[in-house]
Amino acid sequence: MTRPVVTIDGNEAAANVAHRLSEVISIYPITPASPMGELADAWSNIGQPNVWGTVPTVIEMQSEAGAAGAVHGALQAGALTTTFTASQGLLLMLPNMFKIAGELTAAVIHVAARTVATHALSIFGDHGDVMAARTTGFALLASCSPQEAHDLAAVAHAATLRARIPFVHFFDGFRTSHEVAKIELLTDDDLIALVDAEAIGAHRLRAMDPEHPVLRGTAQNPDVFFQAREGANSYYDATPGHVLAAMEALEALVGRRYRLFDYTGHPEAERVLVLMGSGAGAAVEAVEALVADGEKVGLITVRLYRPFHTPSFLTALPESVRTVAVLDRTKEPGATGEPLFQDIVVALADAAAAGRGMPRIIGGRYGLSSKEFTPAMAKAVLDEAASATPRPRFTVGINDDVTGLSLPVDESFHPRMPGVTGALFYGLGSDGTVGANKNTVKIIGENTPLHAQGYFVYDSKKSGGSTVSHLRFSPNSIQSSYLVSDATFVGCHQFDLLERMEVLDRAADGATLLLNSPHSTDEVWEHIPVEVQQQIIDKRLRLFVVDATQVAIEAGLGRRVNTVLQTCFFALSDVLPIDRAIEEIKASIAKTYGKRGEVVLERNYRAVDTALAALHEVTVPAAVSGTARMRPPVPAAAPAFVQSVTAEIIAGRGDLLPVSALPADGTFPTATSQWEKRSIALEIPIWDPSICIDCGRCALVCPHAAIRIKYVDPAVVEGAPDWVLTANTKGKDFPDKRLIVQVAPDDCTGCSVCVDICPARSKEEVKHKSINMEPKEEHLAAERQRFDYFLGLPEIDRRDVDMATLKGSQALQPLFEFSLACSGCGETPYLKLLSQLFGDRLMVANATGCSSIYGGNLPTTPWAVDSNGRGPTWSNSLFEDNAEFGLGMRLAIDVRREAAGAALRSLGGILGDELVSGLTGADQTTEAGLTDQRARVAAARERLEADGSPEALATLPMLDSLIRKSIWIVGGDGWAYDIGFGGLDHVLAAGRDVNMLVLDTEVYSNTGGQASKATPRAAVAKFASGGKSTGKKDLGMIAMAYGNVYVAQIAMGANMTQTVKAFAEAEAFPGPSLIIAYSPCIAHGFDLSEQMSHQKDATASGYWELYRFDPRMAQAEEHPFKLDSRPSSLSFAEFARKEARFAMLAGANPDHADELMKAAQEDIDERRRYYEQLAGLERGLPGEEVTA
């Protein structure tokens, strides 16, 4: 039978089977498993059935805990049920997993295995999550590649029904979940043949049904619980047999052979590696190469880890083995060894007790958080195993210079892979390189006999991020589960990358280098950094250039150079005859872009057709020349830690940092983004002081803090160089100052939100504003000079500023700067404002999501410090617990302040009563009060140090707690409306003085735009691709129901003054505050440069009302609810048609869109009516908390 051959990634490979073998699919987004849920939702949305002809019901839940609960319920009611998750998500499922397994219920959870957050969050792959689930009673089945993720998904679904033991089927996050590979699909007939129909019937008969009622989920006492629990043993004993039977059935159907433990290597191996997951690919290559060299080594790949079937393991392990080296992709601190290691030890100890020879067993860790695992590392482990005195516990792949556990690795060991072509492509996220390479893998995989593999490395920057595509093609199956290290083709799709990345360190001798170059063949050499020139010469590379950007622009594709460079790759690589390649490229363009319209196809075709005429070979000179050099990753002025650690990470050399270089507890300095001068903008805003009206808007809206304002005394700039630009101030805020508006030219992303909002226009030419986007290169030198000068100017005295005003707020130094958020991000202006208003006493509890990534993803952080070294202190706990996390901070601060007060009062003799009284009771609600308090703390410190008594010295660490802190709990709508809502609600009810800021993008932005309960009716989003049919949850009204919570709904672009006021009021309110801030996002589907105008329209249409609910007004017997937005002057349809999230549905399904739009307008009208009534209501405060 011929089966479809496709090139898909591991996620799709697994989801393909899961969707076809399930009836209920409960989902929640989490990297790297989200695509499985997205695909399942999309397939069901278009009516794609399972193998039994029904369309699986897919439901998004509020969290993984909720997803697991729904899975449990669906199973209890007899449906074939699955879910997808990873990492923290799997951990949230644990309670239900114990239940599901305890009740002997057939189910499969597909896991893209990911690191569990410890000292840091990591989205990348290891087995920390599945190992945390190993006590649940779920079977654990591991896949090593996309083909295996497909095949073993089917094995899991088949085996669970027979075994009645639920399965976690897992594969490595990113390395397998996101690797694109050529695989053969199982047909529906294959799946039906694998899955036992009788077992399905039995599953249904066990379901809850009033026709034959049962009681399940009892509470049991000490008399019977233990025995009942042991009753499950026989099911676990039988499970390996069911898995083996399914594997054998699969082999009979398709010929691919899997066993519980698969052995590769010398039949009389003396040293054997044991591991599971994708690392097996690299290990197989190492073992095969070493065996070919005559070494007696082998590898056992573990597939069924739980239940661990010792007899099968012992059968797979050659009797000849003298040393077993077990590799775990996880860390269990404090254990005698990692989990797999321990299981192997026990298995062999049992065997030894039964008479089998006991080999030496060593165990080590590798590959945490997707750390590379190469054949050289596998060899290093086998070499260690050959030592007379091997390290019993070790690590491989890092340099552990602290505990000395790491093994030395011979990096020159590269097993020869005959026929394999490796290719590398360096690009920017925005240029389409990855998309084109995925298509290339598909073209080659699906149109030639060659096997193809694509793996893509992205950085964590949401704007200007680079990508590296690792492609392999081979006549044989590709097992290489590691990055391409000897590429015969290197494409550098952005010329600038040569200056800042190691582009050629993985190029093989004699490789072809294709450069997207704005420079001609005659001139290009001089523009290539000398370091790169030397590599080109040393490696004898052939050099080709194409001005792909120009070709793309002429074809109407802007800077999307992907199809141009893809065509050049095929022309130079000889993988396919060029005519055939062009035909296939066009076919793939038609497939990828066909739905979008004819003109899109025509432009891409034009780019393909004109690409080769622009491709030229450059004769490589014999010697380097010119003055171009690679850029240092950070300026020389950066502090020591930034130089020694941050810079190495920026430069892409983080893998080489030793253990000692990194903080063991995950604590890093702030104020580091200022050193990462990315200079990614092509155009930057240039200030024209002659027409500036001193409104402050440009600085307020700048998402990247790259537009700064200072008001300085005229004397300060008197005699300044003539290139320093200043303007007269306007209005009464700063009458005696000079105004300076300055761009940070290397930190600006070129989003142009500032230009869009600037209201000052030239009288001579309307398009000329006071801020104008102009080509960066023309202004870079001058603006760098101005920015340096600007930084040297004094900051304004915070006591002189009315912070609750737009201009006042923008006179303050931002302590959130140059984030790596998307260009034009709608969230970051609020955070910047927050940092300006309260930054020097700000504590941030940040929910996981976009804001935790651009706020805290290495290498740098935008949270900054002022000239006194004060600034926001920031931490991220989890996604789901952020409100509680922030509340805990409040409790600690209050307790510490109390304790400090008590301690100080006992030291009145040293400090004096007046100082103690001031320290413990002075007003700190104003900047002047705060300044005075800091002076008191300094005085107290001085006196206590001078005193030197033990009591005095013990009090010193308590002093800073006497300065009033501002605690902000920050997160997105996914946190506030969904996964963290329970905690948020509780913290609101707790009545403590915390401030919650919800950056409401109305979708899960960080994971790619999945619907949340904040998603409005009529919008399309992932998990709601047919348009969300229900309305948005009114979080503000829920909070207001408590009565004693300050609540504001704001939209900066709609009303800047209201925004600033809301922050000031919320912070001043001595109880819980909630600000819901409208935050445009890429997922809204429009050009974010216009985000402020969209916010204005959102409010003008009534879609996003502005209000403030201040309980203090109730105390004053006034109306606590103030509706700040006017009645709508725009219809919802007029607003919505400008955003693709609404407009796309009108294109795809106009009738349904019309229905939803009508309902959405009704939502808006009704809400307005309700709010207007609320605005007229008087309300008293609920009773104060009564304490004993």
- Residue numbers at the binding site for other proteins (CB under 8 A): 31-32, 34-35, 38, 42, 46, 123, 174, 178, 428-430, 432-435, 438, 456, 458, 460-462, 465, 467, 560, 593, 595-600, 602, 761, 766, 822, 853, 1005-1009, 1020-1022, 1024-1025, 1081-1083, 1085-1086, 1140-1141, 1144-1145, 1147-1148, 1150
Residue 467 Cβ, how far from other proteins at the closest point, in Å?
A: 7
Residue 436 Cβ, how far from other proteins at the closest point, in Å?
A: 9
User: Of 60, 64, 884, 1002, which is the active-site residue?
Assistant: 64
Residue 1006 Cβ, how far from other proteins at the closest point, in Å?
A: 6
Considering only CA atoms, give the Rg of the chain.
32
Residue 273 Cβ, how far from other proteins at the closest point, in Å?
A: 29
Residue 917 Cβ, how far from other proteins at the closest point, in Å?
A: 52
**Nearest residue (CB) to other proteins, 657 versus 1140:** 1140
Per the DSSP assignment, residues forming a β-bridge with 6 are 183
**Nearest residue (CB) to other proteins, 33 versus 273:** 33
Residue ranges of E strands in 447-577: 451-458, 466-474, 487-492, 507-516, 542-546
Instruction: Determine the Cα–Cα distance for residues 590 and 583; give it in Å rounded to an integer.
Output: 11
**Residue 1084 region by backbone torsions, left for phi larger than 0, else alpha for psi between -120 and 50, else beta:** alpha
**Nearest residue (CB) to other proteins, 264 versus 857:** 857
Residue 552 Cβ, how far from other proteins at the closest point, in Å?
A: 12
Structural tokens at position 356: 């089998």
Residue 824 Cβ, how far from other proteins at the closest point, in Å?
A: 10
Measured CA angle at 316 (ends 310, 319), to 5 deg? 100
User: 237: Cβ–Cβ under 8 A, 6 or more apart, which residues?
Assistant: 307
**Nearest residue (CB) to other proteins, 599 versus 989:** 599
Structural tokens at position 1047: 């609540």
**Nearest residue (CB) to other proteins, 761 versus 784:** 761
Structural tokens at position 765: 């030419």
User: Of 82, 1006, 1044, 1055, which is the active-site residue?
Assistant: 1006
The amino acid occupying position 576 is L
Instruction: Determine the Cα–Cα distance for residues 848 and 843; give it in Å rounded to an integer.
Output: 16
Residues 486, 491, 494, 499, CA torsion sign: positive
Residue ranges of E strands in 572-648: 615-618
Residue ranges of E strands in 826-908: 842-846, 873-875
- 3-state SS, residue 1051: coil
Residue 117 Cβ, how far from other proteins at the closest point, in Å?
A: 14
SS3 content of the chain, % helix, strand, coil (to 5): 45, 15, 40
**Nearest residue (CB) to other proteins, 146 versus 1009:** 1009
CB-facing half-sphere around the CA of 299: CA atoms within 13 A: 25
Structural tokens at position 1118: 């006034």
Per the DSSP assignment, residues forming a β-bridge with 743 are 707
User: 184: Cβ–Cβ under 8 A, 6 or more apart, which residues?
Assistant: 3, 4, 5, 147, 254
Per the DSSP assignment, residues forming a β-bridge with 451 are 474
**Nearest residue (CB) to other proteins, 664 versus 766:** 766
- Is 285 one of the annotated active-site residues of the chain? no
Instruction: Determine the Cα–Cα distance for residues 587 and 1093; give it in Å rounded to an integer.
Output: 39
Q: Which stretches of 164-218 are DSSP H helices? A: 188-194, 197-205
User: Of 7, 16, 31, 805, which is the active-site residue?
Assistant: 31
Q: In what order do the strands lie in the sheet with 842-846?
A: 873-875, 842-846, 966-972, 995-1000, 1073-1078, 1046-1050, 1107-1109, 1121-1123
User: Of 16, 50, 114, 301, which is the active-site residue?
Assistant: 114
Residue 425 Cβ, how far from other proteins at the closest point, in Å?
A: 12
- Is 1055 one of the annotated active-site residues of the chain? no
Residue 152 Cβ, how far from other proteins at the closest point, in Å?
A: 24
**Nearest residue (CB) to other proteins, 42 versus 1106:** 42
**Nearest residue (CB) to other proteins, 873 versus 1149:** 1149
- Is 31 one of the annotated active-site residues of the chain? yes
Instruction: Determine the Cα–Cα distance for residues 340 and 1136; give it in Å rounded to an integer.
Output: 54
Question: How does strand 297-302 pair with strand 261-265?
Answer: antiparallel
**Nearest residue (CB) to other proteins, 433 versus 810:** 433
Residue 175 Cβ, how far from other proteins at the closest point, in Å?
A: 12
- Is 16 one of the annotated active-site residues of the chain? no
Beta carbons of 212 and 30 less than 8 angstroms apart: no
Instruction: Determine the Cα–Cα distance for residues 202 and 213; give it in Å rounded to an integer.
Output: 15
Helix (H) or strand (E) holding 1115: helix 1111-1115
Residue 556 Cβ, how far from other proteins at the closest point, in Å?
A: 8
Instruction: Determine the Cα–Cα distance for residues 685 and 687; give it in Å rounded to an integer.
Output: 7
**Nearest residue (CB) to other proteins, 1004 versus 1109:** 1004
Beta carbons of 186 and 17 less than 8 angstroms apart: yes
**Nearest residue (CB) to other proteins, 382 versus 753:** 753
Q: Cis peptide before 32, with omega less than 30 degrees from 0? A: yes
**Nearest residue (CB) to other proteins, 761 versus 964:** 761
Beta carbons of 691 and 782 less than 8 angstroms apart: no
Question: How does strand 81-85 pair with strand 108-113?
Answer: parallel
Residue 320 CB neighbours (<10 A): 16
Instruction: Determine the Cα–Cα distance for residues 183 and 143; give it in Å rounded to an integer.
Output: 14
Beta carbons of 649 and 657 less than 8 angstroms apart: yes
Residue 817 Cβ, how far from other proteins at the closest point, in Å?
A: 21
Structural tokens at position 557: 């594709």
First to last CA, the chain: 79
Instruction: Determine the Cα–Cα distance for residues 458 and 171; give it in Å rounded to an integer.
Output: 20
For the annotated catalytic residues, the residue numbers are 31, 64, 114, 1006
